[in-house]
């Protein structure tokens, strides 16, 4: 299935934002993209999602250049949640989530579409808000509804830019678990995260960007080592606790 093929950046450059970044991402994993402000994280994610055309280099989905695929095929394969998504109309939560089925219009039956919508609403704990207009949602509720719209597509790849930013602790934990489940089901999950502890505890792989370049790529314990954190963020730090439940202790700036 095309959506669950490898997603690969080959020497991707965007003037002033990315400099020859290469990475081969595998389905079945949660990959976190980390780095300080202005490092190029959102730019790389947009390139991987086919929303931004690199100035040089290519992004490939399996054997095909991503931008050569018809837009509908890209939309079926890759679900993308931007950092500051916009909602143009004051529709109900259910209608908003149903927009995730647009790439599948004319394929499958109504039962399959409704099943995907119901599953996404349940996954994001939105059943009580199903018929509520999005204008009457809190910021965190709206963020959950937007993620449900992405999940309703049932894409092979899930790309999200700071998806935990507006969520309370319980819903952030629930979404993190849900994204992990998506990876275990064989999908690829790529997240831009500022929370290094979340990346350390929940990602299978971490890409660290700094000033547009890829400076670390590997398991969280390697890519987010105290040495990398010191070099990239300029902060003395050490990890406390056991694997899967680590906390970052920060010292003085370097």
Average pLDDT, the chain: 92
- Runs of H (alpha helix) within 153-225: 169-184, 196-202, 220-223
* Helix, coil or strand: residue 78: strand
Non-local CB neighbours of 81 within 8 Å, separated by 6+ positions: 146, 147, 150, 158, 159, 160, 161, 163
Q: Model confidence over 123-179: pLDDT tens digits? A: 888 999 999 999 999 888 888 899 999 999 999 999 999 998 878 888 888 888 889
Q: What pLDDT does 108 receive?
A: 66
**Domains observed in the chain:** 2-86+155-253 (3.40.50.300)
pLDDT tens digits, one per residue of 41-63: 999 999 999 999 999 999 999 99
Top-confidence residue, 171 or 121: 121
Q: Can you give the pTM of this predicted structure?
A: 0.91
């Amino acid at each position: 299935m095309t959506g669950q093929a490898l997603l690969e950046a080959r020497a991707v450059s965007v003037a002033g934002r990315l400099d020859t970044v290469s990475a081969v991402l595998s389905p079945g994993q949660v990959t976190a993209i980390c780095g300080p402000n202005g490092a190029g994280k959102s730019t790389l994610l947009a390139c991987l999602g086919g929303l931004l055309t690199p100035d040089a280099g290519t992004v490939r989905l399996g054997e095909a250049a991503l931008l050569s695929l018809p837009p509908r095929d890209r939309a079926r394969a890759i679900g993308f949640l931007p950092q500051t998504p916009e909602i143009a109309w004051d529709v109900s939560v259910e209608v908003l989530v149903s927009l995730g089925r647009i790439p599948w219009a004319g394929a499958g039956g109504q039962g399959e579409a409704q099943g995907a919508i119901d599953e996404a609403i349940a996954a994001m704990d939105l059943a009580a808000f199903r018929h509520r207009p999005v204008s009457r949602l809190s910021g965190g509720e709206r963020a959950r509804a937007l993620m449900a719209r992405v999940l309703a597509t049932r894409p092979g790849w899930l790309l999200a830019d700071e998806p935990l930013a507006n969520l309370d602790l319980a819903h952030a934990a629930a979404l993190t678990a849900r994204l992990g489940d998506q990876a275990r089901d064989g999908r690829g999950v790529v997240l831009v995260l500022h929370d290094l502890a979340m990346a350390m505890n929940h990602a299978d792989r971490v890409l660290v960007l700094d000033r547009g370049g890829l400076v670390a790529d590997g398991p969280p314990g390697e890519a987010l080592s105290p040495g990398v954190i010191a070099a990239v963020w300029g902060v003395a730090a050490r990890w406390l606790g056991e694997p899967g439940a680590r906390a970052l202790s920060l010292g003085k700036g370097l």
